[in-house]
Chains A and B, each alone.
Chain A
């Protein structure tokens, strides 16, 4: 049997319970804009009953735990999607920059020869060869040809320079990503330590620490796809490619970049030195785009430049200048970075070897061969002309970027849906919390009313004997 003092005690404990409910609602409201937060709920259970002449009698309610509403499966899926998103994001950024560095932007409203891309420069070069062939003795046409050739050469140099800079900055971003990933691994190990200690000593779930750890894991997943599993003690074990990096509070291994040759950085584990073939995340995205599409594109530009140099020089060297000189090269250099117009020709365009016979100023046989290079299907370029080869390079890059954009858009849809699912389960709703506040406040008032009622009853009892 409870008795009046028992009921008083019941009322007091009820006050504490309802106050805890208000505190939890307050905690939820304060974190409404915290994206890493999962809403918490007070678990209230009836207290142990006591025996009474009327049978077991309840002794009120107690708050037993603060529970976090979170679905681990959705969290895992989100981690996976973040890795995919990080991977595709890295590729999108790099490919966008590569496309911009080519400068092929269509402008149908401009004049034909005024475009900004390499395609226009190539067209202008061959047009200039034609003009010189039509008027081989004209110094004006020769000067124009040299100028157009210089435009093309310097544009090729620039494109190569930009792609090279992109390569360098991708390697640098790898370094900083790996450093960031290692910091996150250390942070997760620290949080594991705190969570294990808190849960083992004080009991109950360390909800806020777990939220923080999940957000660190999500940041890590963006950088590199990891396998995360919770151990029995409450710590999160993290491994990559089967290599355990974090086990409870210990960081067993970290990531490290290493030079795979030619300044191209790859990633391996620091302690064991095992090269890692990652399957998702920003880091692998950078590596794949650098060694895949971008490397192919740089090779294609070098092949184009080298072929242009060799074909033009082969034709030009057999020709004769206005003063009868022969054997000079038109272009110097071997690839896109080094292609230049022979400086002797720049200084004196009359040295352009357009004639097929020494001493005939009006002869244009070599000029015609040079002009017809525009139509020549070259075996080293897969039997394409120089222009066709370039336009297919542009199209390939465009296709790669287009595919990545589409995949990124698809991933965005999936990612958004998962986030929505999580928000639906774990997100805080202000309306709900407001109604909970009112609920607990009313219950608090009711408990206080119970206490005053019992107090009055006690006073009545005491005043029975005057």
Chain B
């Protein structure tokens, strides 16, 4: 085939252009570690990667949700262990307050019980991250409100929260609530911490009653009603502590499932979009060699013509 002067140089330019474009592409792949940068590189894979990234973002958020819940659960748990200690001491006092004690000793017990009531109120009105823990969904006001008489004695601790327990999504379609209301007298829903109609617990009322019996020196009533009542309160607390512990285990399990799901999604994304670095570098090397060879051979051929020898 007849080759004109310019068709040789045009062909040379085309080859150099195509090699440069290829080098550019391979270098980009090597630098980013990705086979795909934009959708036109591989549209179907790009769609899959975007969907996987959405899934990954969802899983990461679930992990955040779980962490937040775990913090709340830990705060609740520490409040509950505090209440348990109070319950232990009140129970102990109920056992000690028998007919063998003098009225003065009983009055001293009464003072202590009064202090324990205040302490329990403080614990149960505890906050976490600006929200009250035990008011149900009324998180912006203290769950329990104390009324006192003229002498400063607590006459009642009323619950002003509700019995709703807000759910949090910890995995697709999977919800958990770690909050317990301070009191639940409706007979349905999450059990109340201090009072629950199903277990017969009413810790504050029982403690106030016990204190009043102590002040009156009424060890008969203490033996007849207070000990049993306080026992129900303790059982209720133990139930709540156990539930909280189980909740924390469930959260840890959910967290580890989320972590491994997150890893597997990342693996899938990598499979779709990552470049085989060894392969890329090899091809880049080959292309660079071809480029050098094209330049060298082209340069030497372009300088020769018949004119050189005339």
Contacts and interface: CB of A to CB of B under 8 A. Distances in A.
Interface of A: 32-33, 35, 39, 95, 99, 104-109, 112-113, 115, 117, 119-120, 122-124, 126-127, 130-131, 133-138, 322, 355, 357, 359-365, 368, 371-372, 374-375, 387-388, 390-392, 394-399, 401-402, 405, 416, 419-420, 423-431, 434-435, 438
Most buried by A among B2, B33, B36, B43: B43
B286 interface: no
Contact of A391 (B51, B137, B310): B51
A394 B46 contact: yes
B131 interface: yes
Interface residues on B, range: 35 or more
B140 A123 contact: no
Contact of A416 (B5, B14, B139, B307): B14
B54 interface: yes
Contacts of A405: 40
B7 A420 contact: yes
A434 to B, nearest CB: 4
A388 B50 CA distance: 8
Given A99-B40, A425-B2, A434-B305, A134 B47 contact: no
Interface stretch (B64-72, B112-120, B193-201, B206-214): B64-72
Given A104-B50, A106-B36, A395-B50, 7 more contacts: A106-B273, A130-B64, A131-B64, A133-B169, A364-B167, A394-B43, A399-B43
12 contacts: A35-B6, A104-B38, A105-B37, A112-B53, A119-B54, A131-B61, A394-B50, A395-B46, A402-B42, A423-B4, A424-B7, A427-B7
B4 A424 contact: yes
B56 interface: yes
B32 interface: yes
Given A106-B38, A398-B40, A424-B1, A359 B138 contact: yes
B5 A429 contact: yes
Contacts of B61: 126-127, 130-131
B224 interface: no
A120 B56 CA distance: 11
Contact of A106 (B3, B46, B56, B139): B46
B37 A395 contact: no
B188 interface: no
A133 to B, nearest CB: 7
A104 B39 contact: yes
B47 A392 contact: yes
Nearest to A362: B139
B172 interface: yes
Contacts of B140: 137, 322, 361-362
If over half of A's interface residues share one DSSP class (helix, strand or loop), that class is named, otherwise mixed; here it is helix
Contacts of B135: 362
B168 A133 contact: yes
Contacts, number: 213
Contacts of A357: 137, 164
B152 interface: no
B167 A398 contact: no
Contacts of B42: 398, 402
B269 interface: yes
Interface string B156-172: 00000010101111001
Most buried by B among A394, A395, A423, A426: A395
B164 A363 contact: yes
A375 B307 contact: no
A431 B306 contact: yes
Interface in B248-299: 269-270, 273-274
Contacts of A133: 166, 168-169
B6 A138 contact: no
B51 A387 contact: yes
Contacts of A368: 167, 169, 175
A73 to B, nearest CB: 17
A295 B169 CA distance: 39
Contact of B306 (A32, A425, A435): A435
Contacts of B172: 375
A134 B65 contact: yes
Given A122-B54, A434-B306, A107 B6 contact: no
A289 B69 CA distance: 51
